[in-house]
Amino acid sequence: MAVFSTSLPVAIGSDHAGFAYKTELIAWLGQKGFQVKDFGTYSTDSVDYPDFAHPTAASVEKGEAAFGILLCGSANGVCMTANKHAGIRAGLAFMPDVARVIRQHNDANIICIPARFVALPLAQEMIDIFTSTAFEGGRHQTRINKIAC
């Protein structure tokens, strides 16, 4: 069961290291009934990850996308970049339990995946978990309220 609206698109972006996965994930998400807004990159040519993480995060931040997916080699760069945006809670997921907890405890609205360190089927499994896990609220909401500067 999806906890994110399917009436809004999924925002997705990557650098060159995540390009192949991004391409596969866009097709896979479409098969699952999601609309997708692709913020690039559009090839394996070397690029700067902030050029794609910022517009992806801005789309989620403005409410133009239900949630976001960012990919790069380690996922650290895109995660740090996305988290510069107010209202964005990007979480780096490298295993299923982490994908679950960033939703349950942190109310993450962008999942960041390290394309050089996880297999594509694992990335898909983590996105499935991310999109079907609800935020628990309660004591976690108190903590979320303290994140913004």
Q: What is the pLDDT of residue 5?
A: 80
Q: What is the pLDDT of residue 132?
A: 96
Q: What is the pLDDT of residue 3?
A: 84
Q: What is the pLDDT of residue 1?
A: 55
Contacts for 138 with CB less than 8 Å, ≥ 6 apart: none
Question: What ranges make up the beta strands (E) of 3-141?
Answer: 10-14, 36-38, 67-72, 90-92, 110-114
Report the alpha-carbon distance of residue 118 to residue 115 in Å, rounded: 6
Q: What is the pLDDT of residue 149?
A: 82
As a whole number of Å, the CA-based R_g of the chain is: 14
Whole-model pTM?
0.96
Catalytic positions are 72, 105
Count of alpha carbons within 13 Å of 135, Cβ hemisphere only? Answer: 14
Sheet-wide strand order for 110-114:
36-38, 10-14, 67-72, 110-114, 90-92
116 secondary structure, DSSP code? T
pLDDT per 10-residue tile (average), the chain, 149 residues: 84 98 98 96 98 98 98 98 97 98 97 98 98 93 91
Q: Using alpha carbons, select from 66, 116, 58 the residue that is nearest to residue 83.
A: 58
Q: What is the pLDDT of residue 104?
A: 97
